Chains A and B, each alone.
Chain A
Amino acid sequence: MAAYLTRRNALTLLGGTFAGLIGCRHSRQSKVVVGSKNFTEQIILAELLAQQIETHTMLLVDRRLNLGGTLICQQALLAGQMDLYAEYTGTALTAVLGQPSSHDAETVYRAVHDAYRDRFGFDVGPPLGFNNTFAIVVRGEDAEKLRLQTISDLAPLAPHWRAGFGYEFMERSDGYRGLSLAYGLTFTAAPSIMDLGLLYRALKERKVDVVAGNSTDGLIAALGMVILEDDRHYFPPYQAVTVIRGGALQAHPELRAALDALGGKISDADMRQMNYAVDGDQRDPAAIAREFLRARNL
C-alpha cells in the first residue's frame, strides 16, 4: 500500500514537472509560421525567410510549405494561421486586390503596400530584389549571331521564326496578345502551345526559336539561353516581397529588422541559380538557402 502511494505520488510529480516544462517552453519561445506556395522558388524563399528569422531572433519557425496557391496563402494569413510568406507585387495587385496592373514597378509596389496595410492590416516589406515576370527567351548562339538584345530587335525577324508558348502565357491578359500588340510581333506560323518545361527542351533542340518563360527559371542559364530585354516595359512587374501579418509584427517586432535585411539582396541571376540548384541539380532547398545566406553574410 505504501509502495503504491509512493509510486502514484512519483507519477504525479513527474507529470507536473512535464506540464511545467512544456508550459515554460511555450511561454518563453513562441513560434512564427512561415508559408509558401507550391513551386520551387517559393519553397526556397520560405527557407530563406525562415532561416533568417532563426538566425537573428529567438523565435521558433514553423514551416507550412507547398500551400496550393496565392489565395490559400492569403486566406491563411487573414485567419491568423500563418504569419508571413513571399508574394509577388504583380500577383498581389491583380489576383488578390483585383486591380489592373501598371508597368511601373514603384507604382505597383506602393499600391500593394498601401492597400495591404489598409484593407488587411498586412505589412509589405521592401522588395527582395528580383522580378519574376514573363521573359522572352532565345538560344544564346542566335542572340550572339544576330545581335539580339531586346524584344524590339526580334520584331523584324519574327515572321520567319517559330514561337512556342505555354498555356498560361496564352491565357493571361499580360501574356501573348498584349505582347504582340506592344511590339508588333507577328509570327507566320501559329505558335506551338505546350507545356512550359517541354518548351525549353524544344528550344534547345531547335524545334522552336523563341519561347516565353519566367525570368527566374533556372533552366534559362543552365541551357545557355538568353532573355531578351523588355525594352518597352510591356510585362508588369512581379517583384518579390515579404508579406507579414500585422498582429505577428506587433507581437514580435524583432521580425522586421531580420526580414528587412534581405531587402534588395536577391538578384534575378541569384534566384535563377538557386532555382536551378533545386530543379536541375536536385539539391535540398534548405541547404541552398543556408549557403546563400552564409555567402552573403546575412
Chain B
Amino acid sequence: MNFWNFVLAHRAEIFSRTVEHLLLVAAAMFAAVLIGIPLGIALVRRHNLRRWVLGAANVIQTIPSLALFGFLIPVPFLGGIGARTAIVALALYALLPILQNTYTGIAGVDPAVLESARGMGMTPAQILWDVELPLSMGVILAGVRVAMVICIGVATIAAAIGAGGLGVFIFRGVAMVSNAVILAGAIPAALLALAVDFLFGLLEKKLAR
C-alpha cells in the first residue's frame, strides 16, 4: 500500500497513537525528573554515592529494551504487561542524562559564590533554591532536553509490551513487511522529537535572557 493512502485511511489511529505516545513520554519524564534532579543534587552532597549511582544509571542505559521488559514482567507493582512497564523502562532510560547534568550543574557552581552566600547567613535550603538551582538551571535543562528526545525515540518500543504508542505501526509494519506502515509510525515519532527539541530550545533561550 502507498504511504499516503495508508496515512489518509488511518489518520484517526495515527492521531490517537501519537497522543498515546506523548502520554507515555510525559509520564516517564515526570518520574525521571522527580527522581533524577533530587538524586543528582544528593550526589553532590554525598560524594561516596556518586560512583555507584551514576554507574548503575550507565548500566541501565546499556540494557537492550526487550531484555529490560523481560526483567520487568515478573516484578510486582512496577512490572507486568502494558503501559506501566513501558513507563518504568522509559523513565529508567531517561534517568542518566538528567542525573548526570544535574550533578554537573550543581557541582559546577563557583565555590566563591557559595562562600559569600554562606557569609550572608543564607540557610542551606536558601542556598539551594536561590543560588545553586538558578545558576545551574541551563545545564539541568539541557539534560532534560536530551532525555526527552531519547524518550520519544525509545517510546516506540513500548508497543512490544502492549503499551501502544507510535511503535504499534512499526511493529505491525515489520510483521506485514510493509514500509508504508513502518513509516506511518516512524515519521510522526521523528517529527515529535524535532518539535520537542525545538520547544526546549526556545525555553532555554528565554531562560538565558
B74 on the interface (CB 8 Å rule)?
yes
> Once the chains bind, are A167 and B171 in contact (CB under 8 Å)?
yes
Specify the main secondary structure of chain B where it touches its partner: helix
Interface residues of B in 150-209 (CB under 8 A from A): 159-162, 168, 171-172, 174-177
> Once the chains bind, are B172 and A202 in contact (CB under 8 Å)?
no
> Once the chains bind, are A202 and B66 in contact (CB under 8 Å)?
no
Contacts of B161 on A, CB cut-off 8 Å? 194-195, 198
Contacts of B172 on A, CB cut-off 8 Å? 167, 170-171
A193 on the interface (CB 8 Å rule)?
yes
Q: How far is the CA of A201 from the CA of B60 in the complex (A)?
A: 21
**Interface residues of A, count at CB 8 A:** 19
Q: How far is the CA of A192 from the CA of B81 in the complex (A)?
A: 8
Could you count the A-B residue pairs with CB atoms below 8 Å apart for me: how many are there? Answer: 53
Interface residues of A in 193-213 (CB under 8 A from B): 193-195, 197-198, 201-202, 205, 207-208
> Once the chains bind, are B176 and A171 in contact (CB under 8 Å)?
yes
Q: Give chain B's interface residue range (CB within 8 Å of chain A).
A: 10 to 19
Q: How far is the CA of A208 from the CA of B162 in the complex (A)?
A: 12
Partner of B82, one of A167, A192, A195: A192
A-binding residues in B (CB < 8 A): 66, 69-70, 73-74, 80-82, 159-162, 168, 171-172, 174-177
Q: A167-B172, A194-B160, A195-B160 are in contact. List 19 more A-B contacts (CB 8 A).
A: A69-B177, A166-B175, A167-B171, A168-B175, A168-B176, A170-B175, A171-B176, A192-B162, A193-B159, A193-B162, A193-B168, A194-B81, A194-B161, A194-B162, A195-B66, A195-B161, A197-B70, A198-B66, A201-B70
The 6 closest A-B pairs by CB, nearest first: A195-B160, A168-B175, A192-B162, A167-B175, A194-B162, A167-B171
